[in-house]
Structure 1
Amino acid sequence: MVIIGGVAAGPKVAARLRRLSIEAEITIIEKGKLVSYGSCGLPFYVGNSVPEIEDLLKTTAGLIRDPQFFKDQKGVNILTETEAIAIDRRHKNVRLRDLTTGEERELDYDYLVLATGATEVVPSLPGIEAKNVYTLHHPEDAVKIRSLIREKKVKHATVIGAGLIGIETADAILSRQTKVALCESQASVLPKLLDPDIAILLESRMRARGVDLHLGSPVKALEKDDDDNVNRVVLENGEVETELVVIAVGVRPEVSLARQAGLTIGVTGAIQVNQHLQTDDPYIFAGGDCAEQIQHVTGGKAYVPLASTANKQGRVIADNIAGRKTEFPPICGTSVLQAFDLNIGRTGLGELEAKQLGYDVMTSLSTGLDATHYYPVHDSVTIKLVAEASTGHLLGAQVCGQGECIKRLDILATILHFRGKVSDISSLDLGYAPPFATAIDVLIHAANTFENKQLGLVKTITPSELLEQVRQGKHFHLVDVRENEEVKATPFTGPKVQEIPLGELRNRYQEIPKAGVVISVCQLGIRSYEAACFLKEKDYKDVRFLEGGMSTWEALRYQLLEYIVE
């Protein structure tokens, strides 16, 4: 067996196949110098969370995964700095070129695996050839970027692209010594991952930390000084003085070899494979960032390049080569990251995507604590559920917060995988103890919020919807039902609000005008829900509560301040 690509999927195929077949002859072809490294750890190396670049190549036992390791431990032959330049499907061989000597030769195969990964997208910008302009796709890039920062040669860096790698890179570089600007052509950060109402939570945190965010600002050019070092990023609506630029606008599947071999390229631009990860040619498999997948919710083609997917696909490929008919299932596209002390993630469809696909969508936005308030270590979790309005079938979910969000997202991915409903979440028997959850877990609280909304028990309004009403000059009456000390600590930003603590509402509700829209607010959305239920029973015709409470509303402070100034 010959495997082309030695980073994620390729080594996994080799390791799994060796366990299934002791006698198989396995060769990995890798164009670079390094194999089987943790590319997802590159931003953490830049940010000093990973001390040495070699740590990304080590096993849990501390052994370096180099060609000798694979030879000794796995009986796998690895040819580094060797490029596969052509596939002859008729004669079942691969033409190789030694990148150090230029020598070419052919290598026969019974089975061939394409694990060629993805290549970074580098936009064709004037000045892109300037010095100190990097991507963060290979360990060599990370070493150069960290060296510039450590040697204090850079006091300002600009990241182009607010996708997952761009956000992680901005977090890694930002410090008291190094300022960071982040430029994104779309109107919000993580545009392919998060809906704007969740993205705003991250944007607010980034601005508070000092990141200079330029959203909806396509980059037009890079400028350089007399020594050819980059010194300015020219935007469509401004410019940024800088000394280092990191391009992080995304990746595309590396399919040139597959295309040359006449294999079908799918609608996503990645290699088309069947459920066994076979290409058109039954003797050629493809997996990892070069292969497309099936989206679990829609059944359509998807391209979500993730190391977790690559490793799972590697196992499936090895099973099939060894004669075990194994299928790779559709993916939910679960993606997570940690940046600026926030845990962030998504599974399934976002609200905007679901609506574009024609689903009748209902969402809920709720905030709670990941552990009991009296336990010393606890923090907030915001959960957005996206589901079909009539049936309650879960379509997707997004999470953000300093608390333990990813545990909840994994549960939601499981519900999604088994095509469950939001009501299925409410009945889950989740683990409870003060260090791990509240008595009613924040996830179950999110599901209950959705079901209450679905049943029409009381109306809600999201922070984004309220902001839009403020911008349009709509008339409504806000009632803050938090305690006086809470209000003093975090006053409500924006329109005028009437302050009536929930404990006083039963005696003072007559102070609230019945005409028009009444919106109750609190810190997390729980007390304001109670207030809205009470006012509804007191014959208030149009009463709503703010989903997510102040914890999400305050993330809109930047937009609110702009509005107030205007």
Structure 2
Amino acid sequence: MERKKVVIIGGVACGAKTASRLARIAPGYDITILERGEHLSFAGCGFPYFIGDVVKEYKDLVCTPLGIIRDVNFFRTVKNIHVRTNCLATRIDREKKCVIASDSDSSTGSEKVFPYDELVLATGASSIRPPIPGVDLNHVFTLWTMPDALAMKSALASGSIKSAVIIGAGLIGMEVVEALTERGVKVSVVDFLPTPLPALVGEDFGLRVTKAVKTKGVDFYGGEKVTEIIGEGGVVTSVKTDRRTLDADMVLLAVGIRPNTALAKEAGLELAPNGTLIVDDHLRTSDPSIYAGGDCVMSKNLITGKPAWQPMGSTANRQGRVIADNIAGLSTKFPGVLGTGILKLFNLTIGKTGLNEAQAREAGFDPVSIVVEEADRPHFMPGMGGMTIRLVADRPSRRLLGAQIMGTGVVDKRLDSLVSAITCGMTVDLLADSDFAYAPPFSTALDPNTHAANALRNKMDGLIKCYQAKELKERMDQPDAPLLLDVRSPGELDVQGRLPYEFVNIPLGKLRERVNELPKDREIVTFCKISVRGWDAVAAMRSAGYENIALLEGGVMSWPYELK
């Protein structure tokens, strides 16, 4: 019996995963990978750490945990997979079921034909090089492929790079901020949007990120457009925006990526409006003999059921497994994505999953959210860190819809537990009653997610009126602005700062005896450092007959604007 032929175009995340899984569950298949580059199955998400010299050798990004390089020989001898590197697929003949390819590093034009029974498109995506004057100067980089990473690290190794401008404040751009800063490079970041990481967190978190990187000597210029990259002798020297000129011995273009689907389009496969391939739940394209996965395909949002593009290495690997299963005859489905992302930025961890309030509202939900400040461990444990959690739920169903978390504490485990909760359709009440692990080295007695869920329940149940920072800022600009009641000690005000509005400072321990100093005909908003004492202040005032009271969520710690 003739062996089934499977051809995979692309040998990085999705392609390599598809081939490896298929070789295990269908060892009789003839599997061939066509990779246009030289390197296979490399960890592209590790590039910023390679640039920052945390990862010393590029080989560490292309080897197994045992140190074996994942090259052509490895795939052939260990997995019985045939790999052609530097092999560019140029055309798909769907009628004859074959792929036509040529050597990508050759100008001979010689072609080879690869017949297939099943074809997998794992063609990935490419960095966008915007049409800015000077974009082709030396030392203007993108960071998406291994040659990109090698070239950028080589430039840094020369010792000539003293300043750098990063154009784009998304995940890749901000990861490289830390890498370059730790190597002694003066870094400036420019983005057309006002705050960094707009796809990950909201404006309030973004403003706090801006403050955090400034303490590391990084300048962020939001709301500015790059108009020109200036050079001398063919090498970049500065970057011009619509407001200023910034010195730059190096420029990183991190403005986004686009899917590599020209081959698929030419073959007549169905594409989404953004150019990604449309696939079904089994990751089949509009041609049932052709599968696709990774950065070149459109996925589905688990909450809304609507199309969602999530170009992540984690998604690509998950999809590779699903594709392999279906080719082998296992009816496995890819359920979708939540838009989960996470970033290490100096001592901060920043992450999100699911929908923010605007996305939830657009999807037809009635969202309500809460912002809380929590410690990851008890105050008496060494290494205790803090975090800010924004939790989003649907008001009528109480179903969890999303979360954003940022802080110096152990954020990743809280984010991952929320991913599980949202994936399973949990309500805020079930999250509040989840039996999280507790011991002082790992958590407070009530986990930060428990606190966040309980706070959101209080808000949803009408037990307390709350303002988030942006809401209070807008409220303070109105004619009938509330009176702010700060229940911190005077010493805390000097250290932590004051909100830039009219306020009364009565420490919580003195509030019950001095509560009559406060007006009853005006809304009063209470707060402290994180607003736990602010909640106690609400109770004290209610017991004294005050009714028009609200709480500033997260207290001064969650205030992203300037303080006095």
Aligned-partner residue type, residue 48 of structure 1: D
Q: Confirm or deny that 1:128 pairs with 2:140.
A: no
Q: Confirm or deny that 1:108 pairs with 2:115.
A: yes
Q: Confirm or deny that 1:24 pairs with 2:15.
A: no
The partner residue of 1:334 within 321, 335, 340 is 340
The change in CA–CA distance for 1:472 and 1:243 in structure 2 (over 3 A counts) is farther
Matched-pair contact (CA < 8 Å) for 1:201–1:400: no
Aligned-pair CA distance for 1:496: 4.1
The partner residue of 1:94 within 99, 102, 107 is 99
Q: Which residue of 2 aligns with 1:424?
A: 430
Aligned mates of 1:151, 1:480 — CA distance in 2: 54
Q: Confirm or deny that 1:248 pairs with 2:254.
A: yes
Q: Which residue of 1 aligns with 2:175?
A: 168
Describe the SS at the equivalent of 1:556.
coil
Aligned mates of 1:474, 1:413 — CA distance in 2: 41
Describe the SS at the equivalent of 2:277.
coil
210-219 vs 482-491, which deviates more?
Answer: 482-491
Aligned residues: 557
Show CA shifts across 1:192-224 (max 9, x none).
Answer: 221112222212211222211110112122111
Aligned-pair CA distance for 1:544: 1.4
Aligned-pair CA distance for 1:472: 5.4
The partner residue of 1:455 within 442, 461, 472 is 461
Aligned-pair CA distance for 1:470: 4.3
Aligned mates of 2:341, 2:127 — CA distance in 1: 19
Matched-pair contact (CA < 8 Å) for 1:30–1:78: yes
Show CA shifts across 1:471-512 (max 9, x none).
Answer: 557633222222444333223242243322222222222222
Q: Which residue of 2 aligns with 1:401?
A: 407
Q: Which residue of 1 aligns with 2:3?
A: none
Q: Confirm or deny that 1:64 pairs with 2:66.
A: no
Equivalence map 1:4-403=2 (5 Å): 4-101=9-106, 102=108, 103-175=110-182, 177-225=184-232, 227-403=233-409
Aligned-partner residue type, residue 333 of structure 1: G
The change in CA–CA distance for 1:99 and 1:190 in structure 2 (over 3 A counts) is same
Q: Which residue of 2 aligns with 1:495?
A: 501
Show CA shifts across 1:365-398 (max 9, x none).
Answer: 0110111111112101111111222332222111
Aligned-partner residue type, residue 102 of structure 2: R
Equivalence map 1:523-542=2 (5 Å): 523-542=529-548
Aligned mates of 2:394, 2:356 — CA distance in 1: 12
Matched-pair contact (CA < 8 Å) for 1:458–1:536: no
Matched-pair contact (CA < 8 Å) for 2:499–2:556: no
Matched-pair contact (CA < 8 Å) for 1:366–1:446: yes
Aligned mates of 2:542, 2:82 — CA distance in 1: 72
Aligned mates of 2:459, 2:21 — CA distance in 1: 48
Aligned-partner residue type, residue 49 of structure 1: V
Aligned mates of 2:542, 2:483 — CA distance in 1: 14
Aligned mates of 1:264, 1:204 — CA distance in 2: 45
Aligned-partner residue type, residue 208 of structure 1: T
The change in CA–CA distance for 1:339 and 1:541 in structure 2 (over 3 A counts) is same
RMSD: 1.6
282-291 vs 187-196, which deviates more?
Answer: 187-196
Q: Percent identity?
A: 39
Q: Which residue of 2 aligns with 1:441?
A: 447
Aligned mates of 1:149, 1:468 — CA distance in 2: 45
Show CA shifts across 1:42-80 (max 9, x none).
Answer: 011111111111111111111111111111111111110
Q: Which residue of 2 aligns with 1:564?
A: none
Aligned mates of 1:397, 1:14 — CA distance in 2: 35
Aligned-partner residue type, residue 250 of structure 2: L
Describe the SS at the equivalent of 1:375.
coil
Aligned mates of 1:493, 1:232 — CA distance in 2: 38
Q: Unaligned stretches of 5+ in structure 2?
A: 1-5
Aligned mates of 1:411, 1:66 — CA distance in 2: 36
Describe the SS at the equivalent of 2:320.
helix
Matched-pair contact (CA < 8 Å) for 1:367–1:524: yes
Show CA shifts across 1:504-547 (max 9, x none).
Answer: 22222222233322121112221111112321332223211111
Aligned-partner residue type, residue 451 of structure 1: R
Matched-pair contact (CA < 8 Å) for 2:52–2:182: no
TM-score (norm 1): 0.95
The change in CA–CA distance for 1:162 and 1:455 in structure 2 (over 3 A counts) is same
Aligned mates of 1:20, 1:177 — CA distance in 2: 49
Describe the SS at the equivalent of 1:498.
strand
Aligned-partner residue type, residue 446 of structure 1: A
Q: Confirm or deny that 1:514 pairs with 2:513.
A: no
TM-score (norm 2): 0.96
Runs of 4+ in 1 over 4 A off after TM superposition: 470-474
Aligned mates of 1:543, 1:425 — CA distance in 2: 28
66-75 vs 507-516, which deviates more?
Answer: 507-516
412-421 vs 442-451, which deviates more?
Answer: 412-421
Aligned mates of 1:535, 1:149 — CA distance in 2: 60
Aligned-partner residue type, residue 50 of structure 1: V
Aligned-partner residue type, residue 209 of structure 1: K
Aligned-partner residue type, residue 335 of structure 2: P
Equivalence map 1:538-557=2 (5 Å): 538-553=544-559, 555-557=560-562
Matched-pair contact (CA < 8 Å) for 2:137–2:234: yes
Aligned mates of 1:368, 1:538 — CA distance in 2: 29
Aligned mates of 1:342, 1:224 — CA distance in 2: 35
Matched-pair contact (CA < 8 Å) for 1:97–1:105: yes
